[in-house]
Amino acid sequence: MTGHYPFSDLTKNFSPQRQALVEENVRVLKQEMALHELRKAHKQSQADLAKRLEVNQPAVAKMERRADM
């Protein structure tokens, strides 16, 4: 895999200010993600999330389709 590096290798020499800016950008992007994208980013299935929320899987699917989440 020539030319492929872990993200941590690419950012290890960032200044503390730049690292803070990257972390803030990540935080903002996570807030703006759609529920299904956030769930997938955390490698969770709808069933897993339903169990944690103590609801059934169709309820999670319905939440993900809502526009006001």
- What was the pLDDT predicted at 46? 95
pLDDT at 69 over 70: no
Asked if residue 41 belongs to a domain, the reply is yes
Check residue 10 and give its pLDDT: 82
The confidence score (pLDDT) of residue 68 equals 65
Q: Is pLDDT above 60 for 1? A: no
Task: Classify residue 48: in a domain, yes or no.
Answer: yes
Domain that holds residue 64: 35-69
Question: What sign results for the dihedral spanned by CA atoms 23, 28, 29, 34?
Answer: positive
Burial class (CB in 10 A: 0-12, 13-18, 19+), 2: exposed
In a domain, 47, yes or no: yes
Q: How far apart are CA 11 and CA 19, in angstroms?
A: 8
The pTM for the full model equals: 0.52
Q: In this structure, is residue 23 part of a structural domain?
A: no
CA distance 53 to 46: 10
Would 6 be classed as within a structural domain? no
pLDDT digits (tens, 9 = 90+) for 5-64: 787 888 889 999 999 998 899 888 877 778 888 889 889 999 999 999 999 999 999 988
Residue 48's nearest CA partner among 38, 62, 60 is: 60
